[in-house]
Structure formats: C-alpha cells, structure tokens
Structure 1
Amino acid sequence: MTLAQLKDELIAYSKTIGVDKIGFASADPFLQLKDRLLTQQELGFQSGFEEPDIEKRVQPEKLLQGARTIISIALAYPSKMASPPKNTREDRRGIFCRASWGRDYHDVLRERLKKLEQFLQERVPEARTISMVDTGELSDRAVAERAGIGWSGKNCAIITPEFGSYVYLGELVTTISFEPDSPLTEQCGTCNKCVDACPTGALIQGGQLDSSKCIAFLTQTKDFLPEQYRKKLGNRLYGCDTCQQVCPENKGKDHHLHPEMEPDPEIAKPKLIPLLTMSNREFKERFGHVSGSWRGKKPIQRNAIVALAHFKDQKALQELITLLKKDPRPVIRGTAAWAIGVIGSKEEKNLLIQMKNTETDTKVLREIEIGLDLLKNKD
C-alpha cells in the first residue's frame, strides 16, 4: 500500500468514527507561531493555562522523535438548543458556553484520536504516534491552520467553511510521512465584528488576544473577579461566545452530528440560586461530565453570584447573606458582599457593617466596603 492509499483509507475511516473534518500537515517547526508566542509572553497576554515551554509548543520533534506529519481533526458542535429554558424573573438562569454544552470534548476527541492511532498502527506497525486535545503542548489552532481545516480568524478561532468556528480540534503526531494538505486562504477580510463586539476589549486586534481580559478566561479563574469586569460577565457561568455569535461565517451554522454533544438544557442553562448551595458531590454528579466543570464548583458559584447581581435578583438576597455569614471561602463571601451591595437596599447596610466588624480576611473586607459604598449611593 502506498502512502497516498493509506491517507485515503484513513480519511475514509475517520468519517466512519465521527470525525467531521481531517487534514494533514508537516511536522516542521512552527516558526511564525514562535514569534507570536514570544510577543504574547512579552506583552503579558498569556492565560497561564498554556504549556510554559515555548519550544515544545513549536517543535513537534521534541514531542515525538522522528515526527513527520501532524494529522488535525475537527468535530462540529451545536450552536442552538432545541428547547432552551426561559430566563424569567422567577427563575434566573446562567449559561455555559456552547463548547461546554455536551459531554466533555476532551474525552470525545481523545476517543476518536485513539481509534485513528490504532488504525495506523495496524497498517504500519513500526510507526509511532502521539495525540493530544487542547491541553497538549501543540497549538490546536496552528496545526489546524497548517492542515487546511480552516483559517485562523480575527476572533482567535479556527473558522471552517463547513461548520464556521463551532468545532473542537485535536491532533495526532506520527512518524509517517503523509503528503500535506494546503492551508486555506484567510477570509476575514475587512470584517472586524468580533473585535468590535468583544465585551472587555480582549481582542486587541484581529488574531491577537489579551487572555487576562477575556471573559472565557475570567470565568475559569478561582480568585476574585476584577471589579471592572463583573458587569461585563452578564449571566455567563463558563466561557463566552460573543466573538463567535457575531461572526458572519457562523450565520446559519448549527450542526447536530454527535449525540454526546447535545446539550441538556438544565445543565447548559441552569437556575442560578440552587447553584449557591450545591455540595461538591452534587456539583460533580450534575456537571462533572461537561468541560466547564474542570475548575471545580467555586468559579461557577462565584460567577452565579455575579450573574444574580447582574439581574438584581431580590430573591437571592437571603442566600447571599447566608454565604457572607457562613461560607468558609473568602472569594465566595467577598463576592456575596459585593452582590448584596448591588442588589440590596438600606436595610442591608447594617448587615454589612456588622460583618465588617467580624470579618478578618482583608480581601473580603474590601468587598464589604465596596458593598457599603454601593448601598450608600442608594440613600
């Protein structure tokens, strides 16, 4: 069997296991990416979730000796729910981004990649492979761009002609020398809608992101949210889809190709108040299968408090007061104090003064002061 025949067979096989798009790239060093990563590092635009060793991110040979080809795969996910629950005054709801609507995509893509690895190893026993999804050293986006999966959009996502940017990406590095595919021409042109629509100005310019300002990043942090971004959060519990939603290339793109990626509306858009008192066990049982749970319940609960403040939900006040008085976590107590200041009235002022006299954490005390200032403005 020739390499061209093996490539055709692998492409055909990928379709039978639920891979929506597959592309082949050389395993040459990513020199342009290295320059961009160094710039991001110098500007302080990194999130801190990335592989810290830039050489590993740009040199596939460091991950697999003798690497010749990187195979990129894409799986499309839905952009719309069939029956989304309504966000009402009686039941305020938060929302997870679309990439966290179904089963954790890391697991889904790893299963597909493992099957592709087994397929290759059965036909070329001497070949060596490694695969990764999102948390690996390589840049999924740089690999997909080189492999012709799509072009790198101004929203820092890969945009495919077929599925827009609503795709998960993964890659497989191999010692087999497949013929590489051709990259697609960048098609964003003069469109700047994603940059203009970014709620926090995190998209500095087309294709450059300041992760420290990105709502998708901020929702995953575990410390206090910077005050200037809290109103920007809205009712987002995890991630942000704004730059995808405004993209013209995503208009009309809504693919329901994989049952495991279909959202449970009550998980994707959960009621906010019940989240505040959820135990670790309850959180894992309910949300543990989605990618948005990877940082645990604390960021989700903190974001739920911010969302309730966004809605000025009076019904949440009693729960927020309980959190301020009893929760052992400073981030939750402090965020609750701030939210009480946003939602409450003069009646809550005495409570915050009382808590100010008993609280010992300096960050929580600062949030109580902010809450008191907010209430003072309501006099």
Structure 2
Amino acid sequence: MNRHEFKEKVIEYASTIGIDDIGFTTAEPFTEFKAKLIDYYKNGYESGFETGTIEERTNPKASLPSAKSIISIAVGYPNKLRNAPKSKRGDRRGIFARASWGMDYHTLLRKRLEKLEAYIKSIDPSIECKSMVDTGVLSDREVARRSGLGFIGKNGFVINPKLGTYSYLGEMIVSYPFPEDEELLDSCGDCNICVDRCPTGALVGDGQLNSKKCISFLTQTKGFMPVQYRGVVGNRLYGCDTCQQVCPRNRGINTEHHEDIVLEPEILKPELTSLLKISNREFKETYGHLAGVWRGKKPIQRNAILALAHYKEESALDLLKEVAETDPRPVIKGTAYWAIGQIAGNDALEYIYSRYNEETDQEIKQEMLLGIQEVS
C-alpha cells in the first residue's frame, strides 16, 4: 500500500467514527506562527492558560521526535438549543457557551483520536502517534489551518466550509509521511463584523486576540471580575459566542448528527439563583460533564451573581444578602455585595453601610462601596 492509498483509507475510516473533516500536514516547524506567538507574548495578550514554551508550541518534533506528519480532525457541534427555557423575571437564566454543550469535548475528541490511532496501527504497528486536544502544546487552530481544514478568520476561529466556526479541533502527530493537503486560501475580505461587535474590543485584527479582554477568558478567571467588564458579561456563565454568532460564514450551519453530543436545556441554560445554593456534590453531579466547569464552581457562581445584577433581579436580593453575609469566599461575598448595590440602588445604602464594619477583608469592603457609588 502506498502513502496515498493509506491516506485514503484513513480518511474513509475517519468518516465512520464521527469525524466531520480531516486534513494532513507535515511535521515541519510552524515558522510563521512562531513569529506571531512572539508578538502575542510581547504584547501581553496571553491568558495564562497556554501550555508549553514557544519552541514546544511550534515544533511538532519536540513532542514526537520521529514525527513526519500531523493529522488534524474537526467535529462539528450544535449552535442552537431547542426547547430552551425562557429567562424571565423571577426565573432568570444564565447560559454556557456552545463549545461547552454536551459531553466535554476533550473526552469526545480523545475517543475519536484513540479509534483513529488504533486503526492506523492496525495497518502499520510500527507507526508512533501522539494525540492532542486543546490542552496540548500545539495550536489546534494553526494545525487545522495548515492541514487545509479552513482559514483563520478575524475572530481567531478556523472557518471550515462545511462547519463554519462551530467545530472542535484536535490533532495527531504521527511518524508516517502522509501526503499533505493544500491550505485553504480564503479570507474574511472586507468583513469586519466580529471585530466591530466584540463586546470588549478583544479582537485586535488579523485573527489576533487580546485574551485578557476576552469575555470567554474573563468568565473563567477565579478572582474578582474587572469592574469595566461587568456590564458587558450579561448572563454568560462560561465563554462567549458573539464573534461566532455574528459571522456570516456560520449562516445556515447547525451540526446535530452526533449521537454523543446530547443537549440538556435546563443544564445549559440554568436558573441563576439555584446555582448559588448548590452544594459541591450537586454541582459536580449536574455540571461535571461540561467542559465549561473545568475551573470549578466559584467562577460559575460569581458569573451567576453578575448575571442577576445585569437583570436587576430584585427577587434575588434576599438570597444575595444571605450569600454576602455567610459565604466564606471573599470573591463570592464581595461580588454579592456589589450586585445588591446594583440591583437595589438607593435602597441598598442603609444595608451596605450597616454591614460595612462587619466585614474585615479590604477587597470585600471595596466591592461594597463599588456597588453603591453610582447611586449614592
């Protein structure tokens, strides 16, 4: 069997195990991406969640010395939540970003890559393989771009002709020289909608992102949300889809054929006050399978409080006061106090001042004052 025949067999098999698109590239260093990474760190755009050194992130042979090729895979995911509960007064809802709907995509992609690796080794057991999904050192998007799965849009996502931007990406470094695919030469042209509509101005053009300003990143942090971004987070509990929702290339696309991506409307759009009362065990049992809770319960609860403030949900005031007075975590306590001021306005002044001397943590005290300074 020659290299081209082997490649065709891999492509054919991939389509039978839930892989929507597949591409092949060499294991040569990502020279252009390396230059972009250097600028990325130089400008302070990194989130802190990145893995590996610049060399590790741009040289596949640093991960697998015998590397000859990289196989990139894409699996589309749904972007419409049918039968979703309505967010209304007294029953306000938050939302998880679409990439977090269903089974944790790390698990979903690893299962497919494991099957693909087993198939490749069934043909040639001597081939070495190393798979990566999101948390690996290589850039999933850059590998996908060079493998011909799409071009990187101004929103920083790989835009695939069949899947748009709504796809999970993963890759496998292999010690076999598969024929490489041609890169997809396309672009956003004059379209600048995603850049213009980004709520925080995090998109800086040419597919670059200032992670520290990105709502998706901000919702995953564990500390206090920077004040300047609280007003634009809205009801987002994890992630942000704005730059994908406005992208014209996503029109008419909604991948729903994967049986292992099961959508749970009540979990993906949960009632906000219930999140503030949930125990650690209940949280893990209910939400533990979602990729969006990898940072734990605290960021989700902080974001739920911000969402209640966004909605000015007066029915949540008693619960927020309970949280502010009894929760042992400064970030949750302080954010609850801030939200009370935002929701109750002048009516919160007496309560905040009566509690001010009861609190000893200076950050909590600052949050109390921040919450009422606009109405005092």
Q: Please give the TM-score of this superposition, normalised by the length of structure 1.
A: 0.98
Tell me if 1:339 matches 2:339: yes
CA shift digits 1:124-156 (9 cap, x unpaired): 111100001000000000000000011111000
Contact 1:145 1:184 in 2 (8 A): yes
Give me the whole-angstrom Cα distance separating, in 1, the residues matched to 2:332 and 2:59: 42
Name 1:96's counterpart in structure 2.
96
**Amino acid paired to 2:93:** R
**Amino acid paired to 2:57:** R
Name 2:202's counterpart in structure 1.
202
Contact 1:147 1:182 in 2 (8 A): yes
Name 1:119's counterpart in structure 2.
119
Give me the whole-angstrom Cα distance separating, in 2, the residues matched to 1:51 and 1:16: 31
Give me the whole-angstrom Cα distance separating, in 2, the residues matched to 1:174 and 1:11: 15
Give me the whole-angstrom Cα distance separating, in 2, the residues matched to 1:151 and 1:12: 23
Give me the whole-angstrom Cα distance separating, in 1, the residues matched to 2:45 and 2:185: 26
Runs of 4+ in 1 over 3 A off after TM superposition: none
The 5 A counterparts of 1:210-359 are 210-359=210-359
Could you tell me how far 1:187 is from its partner in structure 2? 2.4
Give me the whole-angstrom Cα distance separating, in 2, the residues matched to 1:351 and 1:186: 58
SS of 1:71's equivalent in the other structure is strand
The 5 A counterparts of 1:69-148 are 69-148=69-148
Contact 1:153 1:186 in 2 (8 A): no
Tell me if 1:59 matches 2:52: no
Contact 1:34 1:54 in 2 (8 A): yes
Residue ranges of structure 2 left out of the alignment (5+ in a row)? none
**Amino acid paired to 1:316:** A
Contact 2:321 2:340 in 1 (8 A): yes
Give me the whole-angstrom Cα distance separating, in 2, the residues matched to 1:135 and 1:358: 43
Tell me if 1:374 matches 2:366: no
**Amino acid paired to 2:244:** Q
Could you tell me how far 1:252 is from its partner in structure 2? 1.1
**Amino acid paired to 1:67:** A
Contact 2:163 2:255 in 1 (8 A): yes
Give me the whole-angstrom Cα distance separating, in 2, the residues matched to 1:52 and 1:333: 35
Give me the whole-angstrom Cα distance separating, in 2, the residues matched to 1:355 and 1:206: 49
Name 2:168's counterpart in structure 1.
168
Aligned residues: 376
Give me the whole-angstrom Cα distance separating, in 2, the residues matched to 1:31 and 1:4: 26
Give me the whole-angstrom Cα distance separating, in 1, the residues matched to 2:371 and 2:71: 52
Contact 2:90 2:313 in 1 (8 A): no
Contact 2:24 2:147 in 1 (8 A): yes
Tell me if 1:21 matches 2:12: no
Contact 2:345 2:372 in 1 (8 A): no
Give me the whole-angstrom Cα distance separating, in 2, the residues matched to 1:233 and 1:346: 24
SS of 1:261's equivalent in the other structure is coil
CA shift digits 1:168-226 (9 cap, x unpaired): 00000000000000010122111000000000000011311100000000000000000
Percent identity reads 52
Give me the whole-angstrom Cα distance separating, in 2, the residues matched to 1:262 and 1:98: 12
Residue ranges of structure 1 left out of the alignment (5+ in a row)? none
Root-mean-square deviation (CA), in Å?
Answer: 0.9
Tell me if 1:46 matches 2:46: yes
Contact 1:72 1:171 in 2 (8 A): yes
Name 1:151's counterpart in structure 2.
151
Name 2:187's counterpart in structure 1.
187
Contact 1:78 1:262 in 2 (8 A): no
Give me the whole-angstrom Cα distance separating, in 2, the residues matched to 1:215 and 1:341: 23
SS of 2:25's equivalent in the other structure is strand
SS of 1:224's equivalent in the other structure is coil
Give me the whole-angstrom Cα distance separating, in 1, the residues matched to 2:249 and 2:134: 23
Give me the whole-angstrom Cα distance separating, in 2, the residues matched to 1:75 and 1:131: 15
